Amino acid sequence: MQSFHTCEFRHAVGTLATAVRVVSNELLRHSGTFRVNVLATRHRHVADSFAGRPWPGHRAWDSGCGEWDTASADAPRLLDAPVSFECVPDRVVPAGSHDEYLGAVTATHTHTGTGPPLVHADHTFHQPTALGVLAHATAVPTRSTSA
């Protein structure tokens, strides 16, 4: 599938939500399945390619940016993605330039040793920090009020 912009996984109900550009909807409707490949920090070139910003010498949306398992041609799996979720669409919610797809997870694949996940926030990519670092953060003082 083309560029996935955001996703949320709700394990308890086996549902995954993702945003898909409106121009990609026809392909998804035709295939009846989609896959979300969770990327590691070393996959930034893959994220850039599918966001329409290819690295030098490559074209946008060129699948040559990674090694893919194409057994399910409609929902290719990035072979070294930390995790990928194969889904069948359950509901579609229009949301401006994107549609939100809610899908039932039908299969998951994991790959160990891939490194930390790639996170996109505030218009740039980040490498997440360990949660333990948060325990050492300075607390914000509370303001006391008198009655």
Cα–Cα distance for residue pair 10/55, rounded to 1 Å: 33
State both tokens at 97: 């330039």
Say which residue, 69 or 132, is predicted with more confidence. 69
What are the pLDDT digits (tens) for 28-62?
777 888 888 999 999 998 888 888 888 888 888 77
pLDDT of residue 79: 92
Say which residue, 18 or 119, is predicted with more confidence. 119
Q: Of 109, 53, 120, 49, which is closest to residue 81 (Cα–Cα)?
A: 109
pTM: 0.71
CATH number for region 4-129 = 2.30.110.10
Domain extents in the chain: 4-129
